[in-house]
């Protein structure tokens, strides 16, 4: 067979298999531009998977943890789960006439985000408790799934489930192809993320670590159910992230990827282990294709991490420069 | 080739490959005698893995949960972790002169188990708090690993890590060979089991669910560490087991295996899901090779589950009749 013919057959095969030829041309993570961030990732993975090198890590210990909001999907102008909670307040309002006159619910119902913001963390917790508890685990999963299936992000007019970052999907795939086990470690609610984590990111529910409310086992009409209680079980944020990792995973990650100061402790904990480690932060620098924000943002503020990155050896991923594609390729 | 010759060649081949010929003769789970328990397991696995049958379950949903004490390893005459805690009390006694006169510590130091028992759950919790907290996660892991490596069970004169049940190891292997994901769901301490779960059972730390103390992230001498606090985080027992499964795994198991009434809720929760399910209990019936106990035992009491098993369709595994080998084959 001539070389020309072989090439033609291969191209035909790749078309038949619906694999774009570019996938072969570009190597792993084609949505990442060549640059220091991609280089750091490729070098890291090469080193920890090289059995003959000094930095080899056994597959079982290749734990990679990813924040969700702002790291795997869009978090601006407001965390997706907060928007879900606000919509639930509106849906539940007829059963709560008192909300018309009580903050922060009044603010949510009137679209007065300033009033909601003024209620602070305490107010936000009240909203979460009112909308995330009192139902069974299965009912909440249905609520969250329905909302995500039907709600579009206002600026991009796409469902939130499509506003996930293509370069990160490629990174997750690349890590798993190299025998990493990938986890979400997010301040968001564990029960809000789990119904979609497998489909969106290839991360199964049991590899999602997040904040949670207390659940109670009850037998209702002879059927055992789990009922979500209006009480915080765990806040998986900031210094809570290494704790969540300890309680849930029980191994220290060798790679941690966040986008905000709230991820610093997770990255510190990851980097403090023996041997080769990698800590990364997404820097939202692309006002045109996504959003540009950092030090003074009301979501995902990235300030101290930017200052400390160089000295600590943390990799800052510049969304504008490092990613040639932002959202999920359709 | 004559049949005789074929047999001879096969036997020779099996010797060359260091595979005992019995492995071929007996099929999966050779330490299980033919009988209703083994039959129930084999039929269940055949049905949920048969893509063309009506009971097919996707691999991702093939979650199997196992209690540990009395289900995967020996728990009589006393839970291994309690013995570890008692030994830690003795080791730490010089730093606590007050223990000489305070129960339940006095009882532990004097070997007066009646006094320890009289202190009840409150006393046991005091012992756990005194011996399982105040150190870093890494220090505790070392303590537990060292103790397990050096302590032998009094009757069988073997380390506890060898007093694991051979038939259950074969079952775990068989389930994983059929794309099940196997979890430990135990009342025992998550941090006590994790250092050994992979080596003993092939269950990685992130697939261990158990009781826990609160942990706190601290930076000590510039090094980030997790410090175990003298405060219960979660008791993963009885009605806590389905809660632990919900918070940790986020999927309902399709197979649950326990050995005590404390496992009833886990089995109930498992069986209440849609489609084909299997719930099992080890019944300790073999005083000669292990121990015989059930309804009135101070460890792993099995009473209500025995009464309800037939009506509920739970499988009672009779250790004496169903297992031809009890402990790990060396």
Say which CATH number the domain at B311 has.
3.40.50.1000
- A249 and B206 within 8 Å at the Cβ level: the answer is yes
Residue A330: inside a domain:
no
**A104 and B CB contact within 8 Å:** no
Residue B316: inside a domain:
yes
Residue B89: inside a domain:
yes
Q: State the total domains in chain A.
A: 3
- Token reading at B190: 């998550």
**B287 and A CB contact within 8 Å:** no
Residue of B nearest to A267 (CA): B224
Among B163-167, B197-201, B220-224, where is mean pLDDT lowest?
B220-224
B182 & B281 share domain: yes
A67 & A107 share domain: no
Residue B20: inside a domain:
no
Other Cβ atoms closer than 10 A to A154: 9
Residue A329: inside a domain:
no
In this prediction, residue B4 has a pLDDT band, given cuts at 50, 70 and 90, of: low
A178 & A261 share domain: yes
Q: Which of A147, A154, A162 is nearest to A89 (CA)?
A: A147
- B240 and A217 within 8 Å at the Cβ level: the answer is yes
B57 & B87 share domain: no
For residue B192, what are the contacts with CB-CB under 8 A and spacing of at least 6?
B81, B84, B132, B144, B210
Residue B14: inside a domain:
no
What is the predicted pLDDT for the residue at B16?
47
| Whether this model's pTM surpasses 0.80 | yes
Other Cβ atoms closer than 10 A to B124: 16
CA angle centred on B328, ends B326 and B329, rounded to 5°: 100
Q: Which of B18, B36, B39, B17 is nearest to B28 (CA)?
A: B39
A50 & A87 share domain: no
Residue A145: inside a domain:
no
Pairing of strands A181-189, A208-220: parallel
A104 & A3 share domain: no
More confident of the two residues B183 and B10: B183
A125 & A225 share domain: no
SS3 label, residue A69: strand
For residue B226, the chain A residues in CB contact (below 8 A) are 242-243, 246, 269
B249 & B278 share domain: yes
Strands of the sheet with A278-283, listed across from one edge = A223-234, A208-220, A181-189, A63-66, A255-258, A278-283, A315-318
Distance from CA of B103 to the nearest CA of A (A): 30
Domain that holds residue B274: 28-76+158-213+230-322
For residue A250, the chain B residues in CB contact (below 8 A) are 190-191, 194, 205-206, 208
B94 & B209 share domain: no
Region B285-310 average pLDDT: 97
According to DSSP, residue A165 is labeled: B
Distance from CA of B206 to the nearest CA of A (A): 4
C-alpha dihedral sign at A155, A160, A162, A165: positive
What is the predicted pLDDT for the residue at B125?
87
A180 & A206 share domain: yes
Chain A, 183 to 222: residues with Cβ < 8 Å from chain B are 190-191, 194, 198, 204-208, 212, 215-217, 219
Strands of the sheet with B223-234, listed across from one edge = B223-234, B208-220, B181-189, B63-66, B255-258, B278-283, B315-318
On average, the pLDDT of chain B sits at 93
Residue of B nearest to A249 (CA): B206
pLDDT in tens, B153-193: 999 999 999 999 999 999 999 999 999 999 999 999 999 99
Bridge partner list, A32: A323
Residue of A nearest to B224 (CA): A269
What is the predicted pLDDT for the residue at B15?
47
Residue A146: inside a domain:
no
For residue B246, what are the contacts with CB-CB under 8 A and spacing of at least 6?
A137, A215, A226
Residues of chain A short of pLDDT 50, as ranges, are 11, 14-16, 18-23
For residue A217, the chain B residues in CB contact (below 8 A) are 239-240, 242-243, 265, 269
Helix axes A190-201, A166-177, angle to 10 degrees: 80
Residue of A nearest to B60 (CA): A204
SS3 label, residue B223: strand
- B242 and A250 within 8 Å at the Cβ level: the answer is no
B43 & B118 share domain: no
B130 & B236 share domain: no
DSSP A255-269: EEEESSGGGHHHHHH
Q: Which of A27, A26, A30 is nearest to A322 (CA)?
A: A30
């Amino acid at each position: 067979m001539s070389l020309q013919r072989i090439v033609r057959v291969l191209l035909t095969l790749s078309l038949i298999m619906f694999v774009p030829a570019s996938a072969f041309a570009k190597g792993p993570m084609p949505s990442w531009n060549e640059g220091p961030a991609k280089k750091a990732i490729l070098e890291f993975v090469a080193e920890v998977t090289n059995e003959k090198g000094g930095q080899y890590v056994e597959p079982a210990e290749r734990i990679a943890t990813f924040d969700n909001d702002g790291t795997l999907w869009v978090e601006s102008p407001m965390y997706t789960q907060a928007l879900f909670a606000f919509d639930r307040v509106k849906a539940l309002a007829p059963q709560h006439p008192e909300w018309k006159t009580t903050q922060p619910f009044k603010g949510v119902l009137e679209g007065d985000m300033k009033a909601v913001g003024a209620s602070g963390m305490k107010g936000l917790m009240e909203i979460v408790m009112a909308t995330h508890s009192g139902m069974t685990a299965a009912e909440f999963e249905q609520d969250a799934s329905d909302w995500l299936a039907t709600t579009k992000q206002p600026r991009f007019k796409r469902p939130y489930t499509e506003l996930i970052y293509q370069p990160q999907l490629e990174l997750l795939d690349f890590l798993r192809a190299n025998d990493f086990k990938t986890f979400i470690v997010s301040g968001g609610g564990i029960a809000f993320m789990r119904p979609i984590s497998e489909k969106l990111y290839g991360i199964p529910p049991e590899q999602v670590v997040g904040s949670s409310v207390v659940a109670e086992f009850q037998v209702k009409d002879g059927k055992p159910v789990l009922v979500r209680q209006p009480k915080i079980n765990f806040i998986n944020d900031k210094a809570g992230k290494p704790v969540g990792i300890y309680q849930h995973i029980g191994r220290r990650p060798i790679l941690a990827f966040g986008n905000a100061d709230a991820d610093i402790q997770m990255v510190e904990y990851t980097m403090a282990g023996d041997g080769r480690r990698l800590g990364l932060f997404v820097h939202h620098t692309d006002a045109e294709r996504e959003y540009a924000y950092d030090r003074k943002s009301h979501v995902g503020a990235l300030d101290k991490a930017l200052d400390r990155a160089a000295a600590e050896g943390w990799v800052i991923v510049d969304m504008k420069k490092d990613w040639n594609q932002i959202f999920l390729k359709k």
